Amino acid sequence: MSQSLAAFRTKRSTDLAQLAEDHINHDLNQQDQDLLKSAAKKAGTHASIASLVGLGLGVFAAVRLRTMRVTYFKAFRAMEKPVELRFADGRTEAIPDITNQLAPSKWGDVATYFFFSVAGLFLGGEIGLLTGTASATRTINSDPAAKERIGTALKKFRVDVLKREIKELEGKSTFEQIFSPGS
């Protein structure tokens, strides 16, 4: 049952990581490996920096929104409001004061800061991932011979992954794996 959630499936990820490491060591020379590491560092750096910038912009936007809400509330509280409503037939009804219900609350501020920060972090991280990927692609494309060797190694890795999946599928059926007493 621990294999039902992707977060708990460690065996497959360690197997694939080991297979990838074997292909990197066997199919690529040291210069190609250094080029791949440099490209990976660029992608990670872009994502990290953009995530921090996005987080900062999210907090900044939350502060601006909170300041604007407080300013609008103060202006609403200061303006003169009607206290009763007169109908054409002469009767009057009191209008309740809703000023207290419109006041900015601490929970609203917490929600604003949280959601704007998360949105900024997400947006910044995604933009950083895009720019980092573009930068890593330029790094790899700068050397056409290395690009060809890396592409060949990637194809060999994909072939090996597909061969492993075929072996797994040719083994026990999914129904047998789920309901076998040994699992």
Tens of pLDDT, residues 64-99: 999 999 999 888 888 888 888 888 998 998 888 888
**According to the model, what pLDDT value does residue 104 have?**
87
Label residue 167 exposed, middle or buried (CB < 10 Å: 0-12, 13-18, 19+): exposed
CB 57, CB 124: distance < 8 Å = yes
Residue 5 has pLDDT above 60, yes or no: no
DSSP assigned state of 95: P
> How far apart are alpha carbons 72 and 78 in whole angstroms?
10
pLDDT digits (tens, 9 = 90+) for 135-162: 999 999 999 999 999 999 999 999 998 9
